Amino acid sequence: MHRLQFHYTLGREHGAGRDAISGPALIRNPLIDLLQAVAAHGSISAAARGLGLSYRHVWGELKRWESELGNELIIWEKGQPAQLSEFGTKLMWSERQAQARLAPQIEALRSDLERAFAVAFDDSAHVLTFYASHDTALATLRDYARSQEAARGPLHLDMRFTGSVDAIRALNEGRCMMAGFHTQLQPGAHSLAERTYKPLLQPGLHKIIGFAQRTQGLMVAPGNPQGLTSLQDLQRTGARFVNRALGTGTRVVLDELLAQARLTPADIAGYEHTEPSHAAVAHAVAAGQADAGLGIEVAARARGLGFVPLVQERYHLVCLKSALAQPGPQALLQLLRSASWQTQLNAIAGYRAAQSGEVLSMREVLPWWDYRRPKARPRAGG
């Protein structure tokens, strides 16, 4: 068995229209190009001239390919034209057969690549790289931005879903331009959320952007047969729980809720059983692998599960202050502020628009920093 690798090149289109592109839409192979040239010209030197290469290069490449494939490709006989060996001829035939059979797929692949790279050559298009905590509304926003291309200009949201902590770290390390994370609606001072996110965010360096308010709660079997309405019920009934991984925003929220309920991880059966997303948690409950899991309402509804609301959250977007004025973030803010997007966001179960697209005061949203100046001391003898 031989390994196949695919390569492509970028170039400028010459002439008018797509029909001006020379040659059919084929995947090019450098070895097949060499064999075709030798078969057509009957000599290495003529083949080299036809390809615009040196004789030494063509001869060296043919020898390298013979060594790589373990078979003779060209037959050289003194005083006779160079000919393809039987193996070389079969390679040519196989390649033509593959090209003929796969021509529609090859053309579709080329078209997809052309569309993808068109963004790089379109001055009106913007690509915004996201690392974000898993969120259905963000995935919907990505699709919505794509659908609004004609009206607002191309905005491509390149999203990678990861834990909230990893998302902000990716932003701070320059791996993305925008990050998404979430906290309880009123995160308390000295809370786990403060200990988790405060070291990663710096006033004056970061800017918080409003996105959405959402509900998290217990995803349970249809009809909630065990009557679970709180985390205390999980402890009381010994219900099997499925958790989210360490470093995710939902794990932070769960641990805060446990502390508020004066429970510990040891009180929850299945606390160590983790899944990578809200959808995966919902699947585990639907499949009977767990009795409950903490997650968003839309994920529970999608699997036909029951849902018990526990906590209201803000989902935040954050970027560096220095990036906020760039075209990509500005296009995103315009999109988030649009009435049509907010209508679509409000239609998602458990979500509503909350200051969507507004640049917010970090102190008001995350009240962990005290900017008040100390009162001036009265002057002695005043």
Which of 123, 267, 241, 254 minimizes the C-alpha distance to 196? 254
Same domain flag for 189 and 46: no
Q: Taking the alpha carbons of 136, 208, 276, 116 in that order, is the dihedral positive or negative?
A: positive
Identify the domain containing residue 62 by its residue range: 23-118
Task: Compute φ and ψ for 173, nearest 5 degrees.
Answer: -90, 5
Same domain flag for 199 and 245: yes
Residues 204-223 have pLDDT tens digits of: 999 999 999 999 999 999 99
Instruction: Output the domain CATH number for residue 52.
Output: 1.10.10.10
Asked if residue 225 is part of any domain, the answer here is yes
Asked if residue 9 is part of any domain, the answer here is no
Q: How many domains does the chain have?
A: 2
Same domain flag for 343 and 360: yes
* Cα dihedral 180→186→187→190 (10° resolution): 160
Same domain flag for 100 and 132: no
pLDDT in tens, the chain (382 residues): 667 777 777 776 654 333 333 344 467 788 999 999 999 998 899 999 999 999 999 999 999 999 999 999 999 777 778 889 999 999 988 888 887 778 778 877 877 787 778 777 887 788 899 999 989 999 999 999 988 865 556 788 999 999 999 999 999 999 999 999 999 998 888 899 999 999 999 999 999 999 999 999 999 999 999 999 999 999 999 999 999 999 999 999 999 999 999 999 999 999 999 999 999 999 999 999 999 999 999 999 999 999 999 999 999 999 999 999 999 999 999 999 999 999 999 999 999 999 999 999 988 899 887 655 555 555 554 4
Same domain flag for 178 and 288: yes
Asked if residue 31 is part of any domain, the answer here is yes
Same domain flag for 54 and 130: no
Same domain flag for 87 and 149: no
Asked if residue 50 is part of any domain, the answer here is yes
Residue 258: strand, helix, or coil: helix
Domain boundary among 86, 118, 150: 118
Same domain flag for 209 and 140: yes
Domain boundary among 91, 118, 145: 118
- Strand 241-244 to strand 274-275: parallel, antiparallel, or no bridges (unpaired)? parallel
Task: Compute φ and ψ for 4, nearest 5 degrees.
Answer: -105, 140
Same domain flag for 88 and 132: no
Same domain flag for 216 and 309: yes
Q: Which residue has the tokens 């200051």?
A: 355
Domain boundary among 87, 118, 149: 118
Asked if residue 1 is part of any domain, the answer here is no
Same domain flag for 53 and 190: no
| Rounded Cα distance, 251 and 177, in Å | 24
Asked if residue 373 is part of any domain, the answer here is no
Instruction: Output the domain CATH number for residue 189.
Output: 3.40.190.290
Asked if residue 2 is part of any domain, the answer here is no
**By the 8 A CB rule, do 312 and 185 touch?**
yes
Asked if residue 370 is part of any domain, the answer here is no
Same domain flag for 296 and 327: yes
